[in-house]
Amino acid sequence: MIIVLKPDYTEQQLQHIFDKLEEMGFRHELSKGVQRTLIGVIGEEDQLRNAPLKAIPGVEDVMSILKPYKLASREFRKQDSVFDLGHGVKVGGGNLMMIAGPCSIEGEDILREIGRDVKAAGANVLRGGAFKPRTSPYSYQGMGEEGLKILRKVGDELGMPVVTEVMDPRQVDLVNEYSDIIQIGARNMQNFNLLTEVGHTNRPVLLKRGMSATIQDLLMSAEYVLANGNQQVILCERGIKSFDSSTRNLLDLSAVPNIKGLSHLPVVVDPSHATGRPDLIPSMSLASIAAGADGVHIEVHNCPEKAMSDGPQALLPHQYADLFQQMRTLATLLKREIPAAV
């Protein structure tokens, strides 16, 4: 349910509404828009339907939401959500989150060199994996906490917010300590224990679409994070499984306007994991911005042939710089802004 408050509601009435909802056993989330204030109410459908919510002072109307993702829906929040990522960088509402960096953190010097190159090109978020989910148990698994320390140090030196992946609920506190944005990868999109734990943090969450997940699956996973208190979820389209072996995955660019019609949450695109091919990344990056994406997530390495993971799909720094100029031109044409990290 959504409670629409009267324009002249008082703070005392608002607190009374919260008290009554908690007394009835319902959870609630407040959304203050430009013109109206809404309260999303979460609970058993039958109980909600029979609850006399409209009789509470300060309530103007009560509306039922049919979609199972209440807090992620456009009905709950009409305006696009905008999140502050730190260092002057925002995402959503016309602000583009331009993520770049290596797949894995391999050492301080190499991360610093790549970070300097991508920031000089215009990237405003530095990525790097400290914990790596690999198909083979014999593949490089990441540097763990030492990698997180390196990422934090380099990010601070460059004045860039950093994003890295968490794989296990037991890692959440550690990753939360060192990162500005917590990434949940495609393989963990429906790890509900992890989603719940990340929902208890106050960091923005970059939630990647699972390899076989529908749009509703993705939004329901976002709902887990939102329902546990963390309202800063950024969705990421990174390709889904296909029968075609010519690309790593199938990039579903229709997901961008599709999701934005259903949800207020920002949506970014990862053409690196979607295509797995450097020759396709430039065109798909530009297409992502044209489709309305709130950012582009690209893997960059200064020596892909020596990369510990996903080297074949990484752009070289000069390739990224050339592409970024094209993306900036397109973003300007579409009246979108790429905030500079400071």
Write out pLDDT tens, residues 37-69: 999 888 776 677 777 888 899 999 988 777 889
pTM value?
0.86
List all residues 6 or more positions away from 248 whose beta carbon is below 8 Å from its beta carbon. 239, 273, 274, 275, 276, 277, 313
C-beta of residue 77 within 8 angstroms of C-beta of residue 246: no
The two three-digit tokens of residue 120, written as one number = 């000089």
C-beta of residue 205 within 8 angstroms of C-beta of residue 185: no
CA–CA distance, 222 with 250 (Å, rounded to integer): 22
Residue 287 has pLDDT above 70, yes or no: yes
Instruction: State pLDDT tens for residues 219-278.
Output: 999 999 999 999 999 999 999 999 999 999 999 999 999 999 999 999 999 999 999 999
**Tell me, what amino acid is at 177?**
E
Residue 172 has pLDDT above 90, yes or no: yes
Residue 34 has pLDDT above 80, yes or no: no
Q: Which of 45, 37, 36 is nearest to 64 (CA)?
A: 45
Query: What region, left, alpha or beta, does residue 320 occupy, with left being phi > 0 and alpha being psi -120 to 50 degrees?
Result: alpha
What pLDDT is attached to residue 333? 97
What pLDDT is attached to residue 271? 98
Instruction: State pLDDT tens for residues 95-129.
Output: 999 999 999 999 999 999 999 999 999 999 999 99
What pLDDT is attached to residue 45? 66
CA–CA distance, 224 with 198 (Å, rounded to integer): 9
The two three-digit tokens of residue 141, written as one number = 């698994």
What is the crossing angle of helices 145-158 and 108-121, to 10°? 40
Q: What are phi and psi of 266, to 5 degrees?
A: -65, 150
- Average pLDDT over the chain, rounded to whole? 93
The mean per-residue pLDDT over the stretch 309-314 comes to: 87
Q: Is 12 helix (H, G, I), strand (E, B) or coil?
A: helix
Cβ neighbours, 10 Å, residue 80:
18
What pLDDT is attached to residue 46? 66
The mean per-residue pLDDT over the stretch 205-220 comes to: 97
The two three-digit tokens of residue 195, written as one number = 């989603």
The two three-digit tokens of residue 81, written as one number = 């959500």
Q: Which of 269, 275, 270 is nearest to 312 (CA)?
A: 275
CA–CA distance, 43 with 70 (Å, rounded to integer): 11
